[in-house]
Amino acid sequence: MSEAMLAPKKRLVMATKEMVEAQKSCASAFTPRAETDTTQAAKVWHEDDNFGGQATKALVMVLKTRGCDWLIKSGCTMCGYFNDSFFDDVSADHIILQFENAMREHQGEDLIKIYTSGSFFDEREVPAAAYTQILKRVGETTGRLSVESQPQIMTDAQVAEAMTHLKEFEVGIGMESAHDDVLAHSVNKAFRFRQFVAGAELIHRHGARAKTYLVQKAPFLTEREAIEDTTTSILKVAPHSDVVSVNPINVQRHTLVADLYKHGAFRPPWLWSVAKVVLDASRELPDGVTLKCHPVGGGHARGAHNCGKCDKRAMKALEDYTLGRGTIRLERLFETPECGCYSRWQWELDNEGLLGAACWTDPVVW
């Protein structure tokens, strides 16, 4: 039996298995840094945020944990979070210590944001004792907390407990795409759309808020397919979300995406595409839902980028929109493109599908 004779669906299953294996081999190439002090958070910083529709100052901390359980088992193709996790034997006491040490930086910010490079509700990552203690302490200080988790892991009891301590609670869910096909064969996500819907419903039932993260341009999609994927995903997740955050994929170390990038098989999205997604989706967004987009690494080769000359203009338009200043700059971007790379981008949208299994990467002439 020749492989060529296989039906597309059969081969899709096979290729996906290969993808999972490839992703595992990327993650296993990563060695956790030795001699790390697990009583100190990985990172702590202050930032301005828009929380519940209001400009807010936030204290942000990234806690060191054993890392995302899914990442240990398999991992998503674009996720390089093991760069801040994968620590051995992080006890509940140490997590509490990390939190307390980070809280010394607290300068009266209204909001505490805790990232764990995994799921805050997963007891394998954040033991119940630490969970309770952190909630208590936030309740005593600001009462406003933002965390992240996979939706199928959190329980009714956990969210209920959180709401006894907190005034406002926001749970971020890394949904990436609303299309199960993309989740299965491009992202290698641990859950599917229906589990997201159930999780968001649980969050809302307790009066908490749901913030949904989407990616733009999962691997193996063309630029045009990625635009379609993200635009429709925004509109599919919006009814279940308070905030939708669009994250153009950036190339993170030790990921499958990084390997594809290295071999000329992945290009981060154009900022034109990101702007188009945000602009198109903003026009159909239901009331009360906030759309955000802050491209990490925007304007750089490993993040969403254009030709280099017009990147700042696009980034500024996205930033304006994210800060609630409307779509004027985004509209102007397309009304007067000015930059020569605009027609190049349009041409690639029309022609990338003809490239077979390849994608347009930044050109190399030989």
Partner 1 sequence: MVTQETTLREATVGPTRPEPTIEVTARDGGGRTTAWTVGETTAHTPLLLARPGLPLPPGHGVLLGPGEAVPTEAAGPVVVLEGGFSVSPAGDRPYPTGVWSRVTIDRARRLEGQLSLRRGRPPTSDIQIADEEYGDDETTDVTGIPEVAPVVSDEGAVAVFAEAGSAARDPAVLMPLLLEAREKTGPGRLLYAPGIGLPHQLALLVYAGVDLFDTLAVERASLDGLYLTSEGVFPAATTRFPLSGLDGLGIPAVMDPQALLAHNLAVHDRELAIVRAHLQNGTLRELVETRVRAHPASTAALRHLDLHGLDVLARKIPLTRDGHVHANTMESLSRPDVVRFRERIRNDYQPPEGADVLVLFPCSARKPYGLSRSHKVFARVIGDVQKAARIHEVIVTSPLGVVPRELENTWPAAHYDVPVTGAWDPMERAMIREQVAALLAKGGYTHVVSHLGASTHALIADFLPEGTPHTGIPHPTRYEAKDLLRAALREATRQGNAPAWPRRRLADAKALATWQFGPAAADALFAEADDTGGRPPVIRVFSGGQRGKQLAQVVPQRGLLSLTIHGAKALFAGGQAKVVEIDDFVPRGTVFAVGVKQADPGIVPGDEVVLVHDGEVRGVGPAVAPGPEMTVLKRGPCVEVRHHV
Residues making contact with partner 1 (CB under 8 A): 1-16, 18-19, 22, 181-182, 185-186, 219-222, 225, 228-229, 256, 259-260, 262-266, 340, 343-344, 347-348, 350-351, 353-361, 363-366
**62-87: string of b/e by CB count within 10 Å (b at 16+)?**
bbbbbbbbbbbebbbbbbbbbbbbbb
The least distance separating partner 1 from the CB of residue 283, rounded to whole angstroms, comes to 20
The least distance separating partner 1 from the CB of residue 178, rounded to whole angstroms, comes to 13
Say how far apart CA 246 and CA 116 lie, in whole Å: 20
Say how far apart CA 173 and CA 196 lie, in whole Å: 8
Give the neighbor-by-neighbor strand order of the sheet with 243-248. Answer: 43-51, 54-62, 111-115, 144-148, 168-176, 209-216, 243-248, 290-293
Nearer to partner 1, 25 or 91 (CB): 25
Phi–psi pair at 43, nearest 5 degrees: -150, 145
Torsion of CA 246, 248, 253, 255, to 10 degrees: 80
The least distance separating partner 1 from the CB of residue 22, rounded to whole angstroms, comes to 6
Phi–psi pair at 224, nearest 5 degrees: -70, -45
Q: How many CA atoms lie within 13 A of 163 on its CB side?
A: 16
Nearer to partner 1, 87 or 220 (CB): 220
Nearer to partner 1, 82 or 220 (CB): 220
Nearer to partner 1, 236 or 329 (CB): 236
The token duo for 283 is 């026009």
Cβ partners under 8 Å of residue 267, min gap 6: 223, 261, 359, 360, 361, 362
The least distance separating partner 1 from the CB of residue 190, rounded to whole angstroms, comes to 19
The least distance separating partner 1 from the CB of residue 247, rounded to whole angstroms, comes to 19
Nearer to partner 1, 60 or 359 (CB): 359
Nearer to partner 1, 26 or 134 (CB): 26
**Which among 329, 331, 312 is positioned nearest to 320, based on CA atoms?**
329
The least distance separating partner 1 from the CB of residue 17, rounded to whole angstroms, comes to 8
**297-321: string of b/e by CB count within 10 Å (b at 16+)?**
bbbeebbbbbbeebbebbbebbeeb
Longest Cα–Cα distance of the chain, Å, equals: 68
Say how far apart CA 127 and CA 120 lie, in whole Å: 9
Nearer to partner 1, 148 or 311 (CB): 311
The least distance separating partner 1 from the CB of residue 80, rounded to whole angstroms, comes to 16
Say how far apart CA 240 and CA 252 lie, in whole Å: 29
Nearer to partner 1, 8 or 288 (CB): 8
The least distance separating partner 1 from the CB of residue 251, rounded to whole angstroms, comes to 13
The least distance separating partner 1 from the CB of residue 183, rounded to whole angstroms, comes to 12
Strand partners, 60: 45, 113
Nearer to partner 1, 246 or 258 (CB): 258
**Which among 156, 203, 187 is positioned nearest to 255, based on CA atoms?**
187
